[in-house]
Structure 1
Amino acid sequence: MATVNLTTDTFEETVAKDGIVLVDFWADWCGPCKRFAPIFEESSKEHGDIVHAKVDTEEHQELSIKYGITAIPTLMAFRDGIMVFNQAGALPGPALKQLVDAVEGLDMDEVRQKIAEHESQA
Protein backbone atom coordinates (compact mmCIF):
# COMPACT_ATOMS: atom_id res chain seq x y z
CA MET A 1 0.00 0.00 0.00
CA ALA A 2 1.33 3.44 -0.89
CA THR A 3 1.43 6.20 1.67
CA VAL A 4 -1.66 8.37 2.05
CA ASN A 5 -1.71 12.09 2.69
CA LEU A 6 -3.77 13.13 5.68
CA THR A 7 -5.54 16.41 6.11
CA THR A 8 -7.27 18.05 9.02
CA ASP A 9 -10.50 16.52 7.74
CA THR A 10 -9.18 12.94 7.37
CA PHE A 11 -6.71 12.63 10.25
CA GLU A 12 -9.00 11.64 13.13
CA GLU A 13 -11.03 9.21 11.02
CA THR A 14 -7.87 7.50 9.76
CA VAL A 15 -6.06 7.07 13.08
CA ALA A 16 -9.23 5.92 14.84
CA LYS A 17 -9.53 2.82 12.66
CA ASP A 18 -8.76 -0.67 13.91
CA GLY A 19 -5.26 -1.84 13.11
CA ILE A 20 -2.00 0.06 12.87
CA VAL A 21 -1.55 3.54 11.42
CA LEU A 22 1.90 5.13 11.16
CA VAL A 23 1.90 8.90 10.69
CA ASP A 24 4.91 10.86 9.45
CA PHE A 25 4.72 14.60 10.18
CA TRP A 26 7.03 16.28 7.65
CA ALA A 27 7.75 19.41 5.62
CA ASP A 28 9.16 19.88 2.13
CA TRP A 29 12.04 22.08 3.35
CA CYS A 30 13.20 19.53 5.98
CA GLY A 31 16.35 17.60 5.03
CA PRO A 32 15.87 14.74 7.53
CA CYS A 33 12.26 14.44 6.33
CA LYS A 34 13.46 13.99 2.76
CA ARG A 35 15.94 11.31 3.86
CA PHE A 36 13.25 9.48 5.84
CA ALA A 37 10.63 9.58 3.05
CA PRO A 38 12.02 6.64 1.00
CA ILE A 39 12.43 4.54 4.16
CA PHE A 40 8.79 5.23 5.10
CA GLU A 41 7.65 4.50 1.53
CA GLU A 42 9.54 1.18 1.49
CA SER A 43 7.92 0.22 4.80
CA SER A 44 4.50 0.91 3.27
CA LYS A 45 5.31 -1.58 0.49
CA GLU A 46 6.59 -4.22 2.94
CA HIS A 47 3.64 -3.84 5.34
CA GLY A 48 0.57 -3.55 3.14
CA ASP A 49 -1.72 -4.21 6.09
CA ILE A 50 -0.47 -1.10 7.92
CA VAL A 51 -1.65 2.38 6.95
CA HIS A 52 1.35 4.64 6.28
CA ALA A 53 0.19 8.25 6.33
CA LYS A 54 1.89 11.60 5.97
CA VAL A 55 0.97 15.05 7.27
CA ASP A 56 2.52 18.09 5.62
CA THR A 57 3.08 20.35 8.63
CA GLU A 58 3.14 23.46 6.44
CA GLU A 59 -0.28 22.76 4.90
CA HIS A 60 -1.89 21.45 8.09
CA GLN A 61 -0.43 23.55 10.88
CA GLU A 62 -3.51 23.03 13.07
CA LEU A 63 -2.68 19.29 13.28
CA SER A 64 0.90 20.11 14.24
CA ILE A 65 -0.36 22.36 17.01
CA LYS A 66 -2.97 19.86 18.21
CA TYR A 67 -0.42 17.04 18.44
CA GLY A 68 2.39 19.17 19.86
CA ILE A 69 4.76 18.76 16.92
CA THR A 70 7.86 20.80 17.75
CA ALA A 71 10.41 19.00 15.55
CA ILE A 72 10.17 17.17 12.25
CA PRO A 73 10.10 14.56 11.13
CA THR A 74 7.94 13.21 13.92
CA LEU A 75 6.62 9.68 13.69
CA MET A 76 3.50 8.55 15.50
CA ALA A 77 2.05 5.06 15.68
CA PHE A 78 -1.61 4.41 16.43
CA ARG A 79 -3.12 1.01 17.05
CA ASP A 80 -6.87 0.55 17.30
CA GLY A 81 -7.24 4.31 17.70
CA ILE A 82 -4.71 4.63 20.54
CA MET A 83 -1.43 6.49 20.11
CA VAL A 84 1.25 4.02 21.20
CA PHE A 85 4.39 5.78 19.89
CA ASN A 86 5.42 9.40 19.34
CA GLN A 87 9.01 10.39 18.59
CA ALA A 88 10.76 13.15 16.69
CA GLY A 89 13.63 12.26 14.40
CA ALA A 90 14.13 10.17 11.29
CA LEU A 91 14.45 6.44 11.89
CA PRO A 92 16.75 4.22 9.86
CA GLY A 93 15.06 1.30 8.09
CA PRO A 94 15.92 -1.37 10.70
CA ALA A 95 14.63 0.83 13.53
CA LEU A 96 11.36 1.44 11.69
CA LYS A 97 10.95 -2.31 11.17
CA GLN A 98 11.65 -2.86 14.88
CA LEU A 99 8.98 -0.27 15.74
CA VAL A 100 6.45 -1.98 13.46
CA ASP A 101 7.21 -5.35 15.06
CA ALA A 102 6.84 -3.84 18.55
CA VAL A 103 3.49 -2.21 17.73
CA GLU A 104 2.23 -5.44 16.15
CA GLY A 105 3.25 -7.33 19.30
CA LEU A 106 1.40 -5.10 21.74
CA ASP A 107 -1.27 -6.62 23.95
CA MET A 108 -3.94 -3.99 23.39
CA ASP A 109 -6.06 -5.22 26.31
CA GLU A 110 -3.09 -4.52 28.58
CA VAL A 111 -2.58 -1.10 26.96
CA ARG A 112 -6.24 -0.18 27.52
CA GLN A 113 -6.02 -1.36 31.13
CA LYS A 114 -2.94 0.82 31.77
CA ILE A 115 -4.68 3.82 30.21
CA ALA A 116 -7.75 3.26 32.40
CA GLU A 117 -5.55 2.98 35.51
CA HIS A 118 -3.70 6.16 34.61
CA GLU A 119 -6.93 8.06 33.97
CA SER A 120 -8.45 6.90 37.24
CA GLN A 121 -5.46 8.35 39.11
CA ALA A 122 -5.72 11.73 37.43
Structure 2
Amino acid sequence: MKGVADLFHIGEVVTGKVTGIQPYGAFVDLGDGVQGLIHISECHFGYVKDIHDYLDLGQSITVMVLDIDEFTGKISLSLRCLEENHGLDGESADDEGDVRHKHYWTNRNVHDGFSPIQKRRHAWEQEALREFVGK
Protein backbone atom coordinates (compact mmCIF):
# COMPACT_ATOMS: atom_id res chain seq x y z
CA MET A 1 0.00 0.00 0.00
CA LYS A 2 1.35 3.41 -0.97
CA GLY A 3 1.72 6.10 1.67
CA VAL A 4 1.36 9.83 1.16
CA ALA A 5 5.17 10.13 0.87
CA ASP A 6 4.93 7.94 -2.24
CA LEU A 7 2.20 10.13 -3.77
CA PHE A 8 3.58 13.59 -2.92
CA HIS A 9 7.01 15.11 -2.39
CA ILE A 10 8.18 18.13 -0.40
CA GLY A 11 8.46 21.13 -2.71
CA GLU A 12 5.96 19.71 -5.20
CA VAL A 13 3.30 22.09 -6.53
CA VAL A 14 -0.16 20.49 -6.58
CA THR A 15 -3.78 21.53 -7.05
CA GLY A 16 -6.65 20.78 -4.73
CA LYS A 17 -10.01 21.93 -3.47
CA VAL A 18 -10.69 23.66 -0.15
CA THR A 19 -12.94 21.34 1.83
CA GLY A 20 -12.93 23.00 5.23
CA ILE A 21 -11.93 26.28 6.84
CA GLN A 22 -11.11 26.74 10.51
CA PRO A 23 -9.67 29.79 12.31
CA TYR A 24 -6.22 28.14 12.27
CA GLY A 25 -6.14 27.00 8.63
CA ALA A 26 -7.82 25.35 5.68
CA PHE A 27 -8.16 21.70 4.70
CA VAL A 28 -7.48 20.88 1.06
CA ASP A 29 -8.53 17.71 -0.79
CA LEU A 30 -5.56 16.64 -2.94
CA GLY A 31 -7.33 13.67 -4.52
CA ASP A 32 -7.01 9.93 -3.88
CA GLY A 33 -8.51 10.45 -0.43
CA VAL A 34 -5.54 12.57 0.67
CA GLN A 35 -6.08 15.80 2.56
CA GLY A 36 -3.57 18.49 3.49
CA LEU A 37 -3.65 21.55 5.73
CA ILE A 38 -2.69 25.13 4.95
CA HIS A 39 -1.89 26.77 8.28
CA ILE A 40 -3.14 30.36 8.46
CA SER A 41 0.49 31.56 8.55
CA GLU A 42 1.06 29.91 5.15
CA CYS A 43 -1.83 31.71 3.40
CA HIS A 44 0.01 34.96 2.71
CA PHE A 45 3.13 36.90 3.62
CA GLY A 46 2.62 38.93 6.78
CA TYR A 47 -0.15 38.82 9.32
CA VAL A 48 -3.40 37.12 8.29
CA LYS A 49 -6.29 38.23 10.51
CA ASP A 50 -9.01 36.21 8.79
CA ILE A 51 -8.32 33.22 6.56
CA HIS A 52 -11.62 33.89 4.76
CA ASP A 53 -9.93 36.93 3.17
CA TYR A 54 -7.80 34.50 1.14
CA LEU A 55 -9.76 31.26 0.82
CA ASP A 56 -13.32 30.13 0.18
CA LEU A 57 -14.95 26.76 0.72
CA GLY A 58 -14.96 24.78 -2.55
CA GLN A 59 -12.25 26.97 -4.10
CA SER A 60 -9.76 25.23 -6.38
CA ILE A 61 -6.20 26.26 -5.47
CA THR A 62 -2.58 25.55 -6.32
CA VAL A 63 -0.33 24.96 -3.31
CA MET A 64 3.18 23.79 -2.47
CA VAL A 65 3.84 20.75 -0.27
CA LEU A 66 5.85 22.02 2.72
CA ASP A 67 6.14 18.90 4.80
CA ILE A 68 4.97 15.32 4.95
CA ASP A 69 4.93 13.58 8.29
CA GLU A 70 5.70 10.00 7.30
CA PHE A 71 4.45 8.62 10.60
CA THR A 72 1.01 10.28 10.67
CA GLY A 73 0.63 10.92 6.94
CA LYS A 74 -0.21 14.59 7.53
CA ILE A 75 0.67 16.99 4.73
CA SER A 76 1.46 20.66 5.34
CA LEU A 77 0.72 23.00 2.45
CA SER A 78 1.55 26.61 1.56
CA LEU A 79 0.10 29.33 -0.62
CA ARG A 80 2.65 31.95 0.36
CA CYS A 81 5.57 29.92 -1.03
CA LEU A 82 4.02 30.40 -4.45
CA GLU A 83 3.78 34.17 -4.09
CA GLU A 84 6.37 36.16 -6.06
CA ASN A 85 8.22 37.35 -2.97
CA HIS A 86 10.23 34.27 -2.01
CA GLY A 87 13.86 33.23 -1.94
CA LEU A 88 15.73 30.23 -3.31
CA ASP A 89 15.05 26.63 -2.34
CA GLY A 90 11.48 27.43 -1.25
CA GLU A 91 12.60 29.77 1.52
CA SER A 92 10.47 32.86 1.85
CA ALA A 93 12.20 36.23 1.90
CA ASP A 94 11.19 39.81 2.54
CA ASP A 95 12.04 42.77 0.27
CA GLU A 96 15.59 43.00 1.66
CA GLY A 97 16.17 39.29 0.96
CA ASP A 98 16.12 38.20 4.61
CA VAL A 99 14.93 34.62 4.92
CA ARG A 100 11.76 34.36 6.99
CA HIS A 101 10.69 30.73 6.67
CA LYS A 102 12.60 27.47 6.34
CA HIS A 103 11.06 24.14 5.52
CA TYR A 104 11.80 21.22 7.77
CA TRP A 105 11.32 17.53 7.18
CA THR A 106 10.28 14.79 9.53
CA ASN A 107 11.21 11.14 9.46
CA ARG A 108 10.20 8.51 11.99
CA ASN A 109 13.50 6.68 11.43
CA VAL A 110 15.65 9.55 12.74
CA HIS A 111 16.14 9.52 16.51
CA ASP A 112 18.30 12.59 17.17
CA GLY A 113 16.10 13.87 19.97
CA PHE A 114 17.07 17.34 21.17
CA SER A 115 20.76 17.16 20.23
CA PRO A 116 20.36 19.28 17.03
CA ILE A 117 18.73 22.01 19.15
CA GLN A 118 21.44 21.78 21.77
CA LYS A 119 24.13 22.14 19.09
CA ARG A 120 22.51 25.30 17.67
CA ARG A 121 21.44 26.87 20.95
CA HIS A 122 24.53 29.00 21.52
CA ALA A 123 24.44 30.44 17.98
CA TRP A 124 20.73 31.25 18.38
CA GLU A 125 21.37 32.98 21.69
CA GLN A 126 24.14 35.07 20.13
CA GLU A 127 21.92 35.96 17.17
CA ALA A 128 19.11 37.03 19.52
CA LEU A 129 21.49 39.16 21.57
CA ARG A 130 22.79 40.89 18.44
CA GLU A 131 19.27 41.51 17.16
CA PHE A 132 17.64 42.75 20.36
CA VAL A 133 20.50 44.33 22.26
CA GLY A 134 22.02 45.87 19.15
CA LYS A 135 18.88 47.88 18.35
TM-score, structure 2 normalization: 0.29
Larger Rg: 2
Structure with more contact order per residue of length (Cα contacts < 8 Å, sep ≥ 6): 1
Task: Report which of the two has the higher share of strand.
Answer: 2
**TM-score, with structure 1 as normaliser:** 0.31
- Structure with the largest fraction of helix: 1
